[in-house]
Chain A
């Protein structure tokens, strides 16, 4: 019997090819394929039922999908900008502290140490309309005498989710911007002082341009994070009540696993991924541009 002889380069690459296929390629191809079928988890043989672009047509004409899409973009925009502004303020203040700065920097990281699920539960409790801290505090202070439905009212629920999101992730911006502040050379700042800048002008014209690459790195990382937001929302509101806080991935998760319509969920997933890719590409472009302006990189 003649043994099969593979070329050496293929033998050497085979482990990597096998692992990548198992972990990335096969799931990717399978999920892409299933988005063109009427695959339901409850009827496994439906995976062979080819329906063409039906799932995609359904998704792009589905108001619920676009509502979730819009809400996700809203969350991204509001949360990222708030986190950036608060993180910037935090970093600027911490950088001015002369004693105990190490301790403060460590404390800044605390929110990042908690699982988003736990943060979700924590804020679910804080914003609970009966036993929650916020309503209790408001009522004790006499600001209101009724129970505000923080997690039930559509706008307030979105606000509460954004609040939790900002609480968890402001420190990501804070830490990265702080690193940026440490990296700014002293000379241009002194030159700006001599050139007649007030503190605000020094910040606006010298400090901020130096910080922009760091801000964009944080934005790129966080945009991926927020675009796939699931856990906090799932725990705090479960996308409800009545889908008022439904985001893309809570909708997709529900469709795939609760309604068992995996083919349709995969189709929505593929559309949603473009959102994440769009934001990442956008921020990386900005990053490259701001680095180029500073004469860094190519």
Chain B
């Protein structure tokens, strides 16, 4: 297993720079997820680590070596692709053993490694089939098996679950997590799905437009987003954001509505801010968990509901902006119903209205 370091890594296509001098340190046997909207440079970054894209600037270190000029086969990595990328003309057994065959290992070694990997991923009954005769989930498991037979230093996953249906995706997510616990390998995992990122990662790297916006543990980026982009990207539903100005202990929103300033942000008098609050922290009275000392109560009209079973999402309007609130122990709600909501101010965030960066508490 190995550490991976990215030092000022740049990717340019001609004059177009798509990854801007990013720095990232990944510890031994850490599970790091690169997440961001499409086109943010996350896959490109992964492919530079893999050696499938040339590095335009900076250095990539794997296991203490600078690998910039090494071809993929000398980097001791393995990769799982979004479209599985299995060899269609080879059986599952041959697919799994291909990399070992290429490196001229003995047939006994290959068989042993393949059987072991097949056992881990419950592929044993499928070993003699061709990829064409497998379901999507089975193909993805073969792709993962092909990655683990070699015991590489680093595993790279490029949106491995995007082609699977929702149920299978949840299953495979758990399998990947188990696999990581079993193999204790370093994993870099790319996804655009923040749920995958939250559930799998030791640390999440949130990227946008070729920059790293924030690096942190899932809870850290959820609870302390560095800017409005991270706040809306991580967490479902996204954080509600409202623009306003801090005036004498109150935030005044565009339509004149006022809310008390969250106590941690008492020093920003006069500043234009973006007020951020998650749906989990706006709850109708009587349907909330009692928490936090500082509460604000507002009355709002429910426009729409999304019942999810254990909770119901309520779409309503606060200070002229649509916000989502959450109702625990839900009861049926008519649209147009007026309800009193509690906002837990301790859990709210203030961002700079111009830059979107979080304000210090």
Binding site for B on A (CB under 8 A): 185, 187-188, 190-198, 201, 205-206, 209-210, 293-295
Contact = CB atoms under 8 A, between A and B. Distances in A.
Contact of A196 (B73, B85, B89): B73
A194 B143 CA distance: 12
Nearest to B133: A295
Contacts of B86: 188, 191
Contacts of B71: 193
Given A196-B99, A198-B73, A294-B88, A190 B130 contact: no
A187 B131 contact: no
Given A205-B98, A295-B131, A295-B132, A194 B87 contact: no
B51 interface: yes
Contacts, number: 71
A293 B150 CA distance: 25
A193 B72 contact: yes
Interface on chain A toward B: helix, strand, loop, or mixed SS? helix
B228 interface: no
B129 to A, nearest CB: 10
B89 A294 contact: yes
A155 to B, nearest CB: 40
B54 to A, nearest CB: 13
Nearest to A195: B99
B132 A197 contact: no
Given A188-B88, A209-B87, 19 more contacts: A185-B83, A187-B83, A187-B84, A188-B86, A191-B86, A191-B87, A192-B98, A193-B51, A193-B71, A193-B72, A194-B79, A195-B78, A196-B73, A197-B102, A201-B102, A205-B87, A209-B89, A210-B89, A293-B130
B83 A195 contact: no
B123 to A, nearest CB: 17
Of B51, B87, B146, chain A has the most CB atoms within 10 Å of the CB of B87
Q: How many B residues touch the partner, as a band? A: 20 to 34
A194 B89 contact: no
A293 B83 contact: no
Contact of B102 (A185, A190, A196, A294): A196
Given A194-B52, A195-B78, A196-B103, A206 B87 contact: yes
A185 B72 CA distance: 19
A135 B86 CA distance: 54
Nearest to B74: A196
Nearest to B71: A193
Contacts of A197: 73, 102
Contact of A194 (B78, B84, B131): B78
Contact of B81 (A187, A205, A293): A187
Contacts of A187: 81, 83-85
B302 interface: no
